[in-house]
């Protein structure tokens, strides 16, 4: 069966509470030869699934009054574990992307989408489903809540889609990115999405320990193996047995340790320092580095065979300067969390401080942003962060000039306006239910009411 034949015979279920948008996309898909059934709510879609289903693929909006697209996704997968579901949304959100893919969505697509790319994705999905044996596709495993990944830029959404797809496997993952981009946070998300979530997650900074100490820490030692080894120690690999070990800054380990780590990945066993007998371990290895390992291999500073063992799947974290449209969301998230940690009331930003934060290129990435905001919050005794509370180099603008302004309109909005739009969007999605909206936003109902009063909104 060719892709064309698959397409002309395919039946699609299209779900969107926007009747006009639903009709227009339906007409586009029908011109492609698909048979399209439309529904304006999840409830109506479930009736269609029971009445004339199953469908070859389902395309659903994410946020709708009542049940959401994720609810429909789960229901469709319960009826048919091989169901192809595309989640379409005008609200790009990294956490939602990860949740959708983890729940079994074929793809998570942010609006406005390119129709040609969407048509190609549907055709490719149908063809791949035809080629895939039924028993090789299983429903996603339920897991614990993932670490919070903040952002709605295309770059960070792609990261979370990759994380959600690779997490249920046992594949070794190499996480790359500049210092401060959040590599350990992504490693924890992979662990939390996996079937090892109930076991230990052990993080090791390989650059922080001398070679001999790191070897003993990783693989353990027997009593008397070296001076000071007064007792046997199991090592971090054994502590992480049946769980996950995260090796940060893997590019800094010595040639000797590279050889030993390669054996762990190949044979799934370790030999403690001073021992003669290897010990079996069941550990998933996640590694991270800010260095170019491929270049280190060419220079002879990193083993090529170890690099390929680590690099089964690569997740590249973009620097903050490549996702500046996420900056307002990150600022408000950190200010809220930092205020809570320090036992403070929420703080505000004055316009000059907002402008300086948005203009900075953030060479230290998200970690630098968090440190800057914590310092400012501590210094802002009156509850308003001004320019005087920011570091001197940030106020002076001592940073390399940008070649061109980034094509991201979200980051150019005032932070207060971004916050207002985000809060009102959540409230609208929850049909004016202030209790649920406040819980989703991570604030108290009283704080939400104060915000609405300040903006002159009823919240209904």
State the CATH number of the domain containing residue 390. Answer: 1.10.8.60
Residues 312 and 357 in one domain: no
pLDDT at 413 over 60: no
- Across the range 119-134, mean pLDDT stands at 73
pLDDT at 446 over 50: yes
| pLDDT value for 275 | 81
- Across the range 409-429, mean pLDDT stands at 61
Residues 284 and 335 in one domain: no
pLDDT confidence tier of residue 407, bands split at 50, 70 and 90: very low
Residues 192 and 128 in one domain: no
Residues 71 and 175 in one domain: no
Residues 289 and 355 in one domain: no
Residues 304 and 361 in one domain: no
Residue 142, domain member (yes or no): no
Cα Rg, the chain, nearest whole Å? 25
Residues 121 and 165 in one domain: no
- What pairing do the DSSP bridges indicate for beta strands 173-176 and 313-316? parallel
* Between residues 122 and 451, the one the model is more confident about: 122
| pLDDT value for 8 | 47
Domain boundary among 260, 291, 316: 316
Of 97, 88, 41, give the one whose Cα is nearest residue 65: 41
* Vertex 458 angle, CA 453 and 460, to 5°: 145
Residues 294 and 188 in one domain: yes
Output the six-digit token pair for 78: 């319960």
* Vertex 310 angle, CA 305 and 315, to 5°: 140
d(CA 352, CA 15): 44
Residue 159, domain member (yes or no): yes
Residue 344, domain member (yes or no): yes
Residue 132, domain member (yes or no): yes
Least reliable range by pLDDT among 108-122, 164-178, 421-435: 421-435
Q: How many domains does the chain have?
A: 3
| pLDDT value for 127 | 78
Residues 229 and 186 in one domain: yes
| Average pLDDT value for the chain | 82
Domain boundary among 316, 345, 363: 316
Q: Is the dihedral of CA 300, 302, 305, 310 positive or negative?
A: negative
CB neighbours of residue 40 within 10 Å: 17
Residues 366 and 398 in one domain: yes
Residue 219, CA distances (Å) to 246, 253, 302, 402 in order: 14, 14, 20, 46
Domain boundary among 73, 101, 136: 136
d(CA 389, CA 76): 52
Residues 120 and 268 in one domain: no
Query: Residue 129's domain spans which residues?
Result: 3-136
State the CATH number of the domain containing residue 20. Answer: 3.40.50.2300
Over residues 332-352, the pLDDT tens digits come to 889 888 988 888 887 888 888
The percent of residues in the chain predicted with pLDDT above 90, rounded, is 34
Residues 302 and 327 in one domain: no
Residue 145, domain member (yes or no): no
Residue 122, domain member (yes or no): yes
Over residues 360-384, the pLDDT tens digits come to 989 999 999 999 999 999 988 778 8
State the CATH number of the domain containing residue 209. Answer: 3.40.50.300
Residue 143, domain member (yes or no): no
| pLDDT value for 277 | 84
Residue 146, domain member (yes or no): no
CB 7 within 8 A of CB 33: yes
Over residues 265-289, the pLDDT tens digits come to 999 998 888 888 888 999 999 999 9
| Residue 445 CB partners (closer than 8 Å, separation 6+) | 434, 435, 438
pLDDT at 135 over 50: no
pLDDT confidence tier of residue 202, bands split at 50, 70 and 90: very high
């Amino acid at each position: 069966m060719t892709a064309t034949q698959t397409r002309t015979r395919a039946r699609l279920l299209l779900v969107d509470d926007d009747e006009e948008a639903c009709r227009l996309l339906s007409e586009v898909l029908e011109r492609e030869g698909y048979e399209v059934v439309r529904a304006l709510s999840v409830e109506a879609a479930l009736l269609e699934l029971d009445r004339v289903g199953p469908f070859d693929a389902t395309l659903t909006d994410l946020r709708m009054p009542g049940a959401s697209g994720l609810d429909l996704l789960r229901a469709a997968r319960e009826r048919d574990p091989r169901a192809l579901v595309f989640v379409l949304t005008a609200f790009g959100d990294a956490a939602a992307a990860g949740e959708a893919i983890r729940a079994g969505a074929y793809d998570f697509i942010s609006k406005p989408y390119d129709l040609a790319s969407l048509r190609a994705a549907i055709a490719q999905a149908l063809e791949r489903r035809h080629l895939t044996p039924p028993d090789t596709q299983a429903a996603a495993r339920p897991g614990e809540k993932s670490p919070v990944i903040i952002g709605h830029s295309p770059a960070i959404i792609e990261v979370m889609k990759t994380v959600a797809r690779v997490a249920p496997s046992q594949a070794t993952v190499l996480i790359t990115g500049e210092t401060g981009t959040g590599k350990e946070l992504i490693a924890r998300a992979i662990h939390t999405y996996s079937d090892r979530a109930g076991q230990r997650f052990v993080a090791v900074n390989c650059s922080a320990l001398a070679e001999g100490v790191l070897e003993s820490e990783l693989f353990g030692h027997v009593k008397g193996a070296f001076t000071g080894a007064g007792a046997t120690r199991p090592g971090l690999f054994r502590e992480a047995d049946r769980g996950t070990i995260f090796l940060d800054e893997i590019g800094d380990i010595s040639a000797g340790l590279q050889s030993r780590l390669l054996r762990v990945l190949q044979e799934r066993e370790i030999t403690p320092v001073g021992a003669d007998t290897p010990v079996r371990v069941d550990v998933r290895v996640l590694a991270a580095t800010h260095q170019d390992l491929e270049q280190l291999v060419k220079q002879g500073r990193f083993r090529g065979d170890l690099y390929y063992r680590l690099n089964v799947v690569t997740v590249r974290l973009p620097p903050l300067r490549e996702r500046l449209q996420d900056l307002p969301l990150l600022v408000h998230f950190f200010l809220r969390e930092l205020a809570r940690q320090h036992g403070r009331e929420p703080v505000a930003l004055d316009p000059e401080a907002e402008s300086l934060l948005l203009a900075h290129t953030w060479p230290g990435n998200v970690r630098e942003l968090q440190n800057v905001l914590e310092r400012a919050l501590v210094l802002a005794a009156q509850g308003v962060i001004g320019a005087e509370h920011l570091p001197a180099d940030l106020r002076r603008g001592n940073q390399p000039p940008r070649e061109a302004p980034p094509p991201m309109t979200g980051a150019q909005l005032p932070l207060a306006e971004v916050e207002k739009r985000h809060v009102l969007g959540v409230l609208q999605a929850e049909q004016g239910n202030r209790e649920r909206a406040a819980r989703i936003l991570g604030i108290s109902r009283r704080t939400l009411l104060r915000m609405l009063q300040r903006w002159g909104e009823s919240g209904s």
